[in-house]
């Protein structure tokens, strides 16, 4: 065991390590199905700000309706191909923080389709999640900046409601702290304070992810500075951890993150690999994601839902299977 674990955490860590689940692993992918996209099926139809102001909500409604129709197709496709996790695009509703979703002319039809999508996913055990963009800086010292992510995150939660999902970390809304602003301790305090400004259903879905820079937040820092205060679960990102260990080994960080999830909800993680290594090109940013996955994912006997953050999306998952159709994961 490394010296990165606090004394208070070591006992809990050992107990978890001695009582790990069976190591059931599901793999998922993010936002775009490249197979279907080649046939014009995708969920991120949007427009420039100028177009939004010119064409208004009628055009927004047309795009959103087509996006949710295609979302249904993608979720059905996932079921047919035994994919158990999928991250929804944050662009299903263009410029959604500028209006109420109920203002859209096709709102009733959109709601009907969204409920169908939610039922299809639930019946098949397919986990749907969201990951709003990096501009959602809930810990910003500027109150005007904070107002935008509060609105944005509540809009994401409203979409989960439209899918018929009860507030739960199972259908998580994943964000980062959004920067340390030169003072990590004060930033985490502000995050906890601004977290209370969110709607209750949003708070019950929000999870936090470790960062890929030592200037930002490791699993250890998120555990001590956020989870202990507001009980927020931590999404462990394997790749980010390589750049910002916080003094923990990969196994320790994964197990510490697992302690933050309710016992009845499978821990969710993110996994990617280096595009620089894949392309043998030192000019590529080290944190850039590869097209596919090459290494065995170590799960340390934990039950995990792992979102594969690779450029080739669902193709990366199929490439990762063995000839027998099993995932190439290393459980111990």
β-pairing verdict for 267-271 and 297-298: unpaired
Q: What is the pLDDT at residue 9?
A: 66
In which region does residue 95 sit, left (phi positive, over 0), alpha (psi from -120 to 50) or beta (all else)? Answer: left
All structural domains of the chain with their residue ranges: 1-27+131-157+174-332, 31-94+105-128
Q: What is the pLDDT at residue 147?
A: 95
Q: What is the pLDDT at residue 75?
A: 98
SS3 category, 212: coil
Q: What is the pLDDT at residue 7?
A: 63
Q: What is the pLDDT at residue 135?
A: 84
- Asked whether 269 and 305 are in contact (CB, 8 A), the reply is yes
Segment-wise mean pLDDT, segments of 10 residues, the chain, 332 residues: 65 58 87 98 97 97 98 98 97 96 98 98 98 92 94 97 98 96 97 98 98 97 98 98 97 97 97 87 88 92 96 93 62 64
Q: What is the pLDDT at residue 308?
A: 97
DSSP-assigned states of every residue in 46-68 = ---HHHHHHHHHHHHHHHHHHHH
Q: What is the pLDDT at residue 4?
A: 73
Q: Is the dihedral angle over the CA atoms 140, 88, 31, 27 positive or is it negative?
A: positive
* Whole-number CA gyration radius for the chain: 20
CATH of domain 1-27+131-157+174-332: 3.20.20.150
pTM, 2 dp: 0.92
Q: Which residues make beta-bridge pairs with 175?
A: 208
């Amino acid at each position: 065991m490394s010296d990165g674990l606090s004394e208070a955490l070591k006992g809990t860590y050992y107990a978890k390590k001695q009582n790990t689940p069976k190591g059931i692993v599901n793999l998922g992918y993010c936002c775009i199905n490249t197979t279907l996209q080649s046939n014009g099926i995708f969920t991120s139809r949007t427009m420039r700000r100028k177009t939004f102001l010119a064409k208004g909500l009628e055009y927004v409604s047309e795009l959103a309706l087509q996006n949710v129709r295609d979302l249904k197709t993608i979720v059905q496709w996932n079921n047919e191909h035994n994919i158990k996790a999928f991250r929804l695009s944050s662009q299903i509703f263009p410029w959604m923080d500028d209006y109420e979703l109920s203002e859209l002319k096709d709102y009733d039809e959109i709601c009907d389709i969204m409920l169908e999508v939610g039922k299809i996913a639930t019946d098949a055990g397919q986990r749907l999640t969201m990951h709003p963009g990096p501009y959602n800086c809930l810990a910003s010292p500027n109150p005007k900046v904070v107002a935008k992510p509060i609105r944005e995150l509540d809009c994401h939660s409203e979409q989960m409601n439209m899918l018929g999902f009860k507030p739960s970390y199972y259908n998580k809304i994943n964000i980062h702290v959004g920067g340390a602003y030169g003072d990590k301790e004060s930033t985490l305090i502000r995050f906890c304070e601004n977290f209370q400004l969110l709607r209750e259903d949003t708070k019950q879905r929000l999870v936090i992810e470790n960062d890929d820079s030592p200037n930002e937040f490791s699993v250890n820092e998120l555990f001590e500075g956020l989870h202990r205060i507001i009980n927020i679960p931590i999404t462990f990102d394997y790749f980010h951890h390589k750049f910002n260990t916080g003094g923990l080994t990969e196994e320790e960080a994964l197990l510490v993150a697992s302690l933050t999830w309710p016992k009845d909800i499978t821990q969710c993680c993110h996994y990617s690999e280096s595009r620089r290594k894949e392309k043998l090109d030192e000019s590529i940013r080290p944190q850039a994601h590869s097209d596919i996955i090459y290494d065995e994912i170590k799960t340390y006997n934990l039950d995990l839902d792992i979102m594969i953050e690779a450029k080739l999306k669902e193709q990366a998952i199929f490439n990762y299977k063995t000839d027998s159709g099993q995932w190439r994961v290393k459980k111990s």
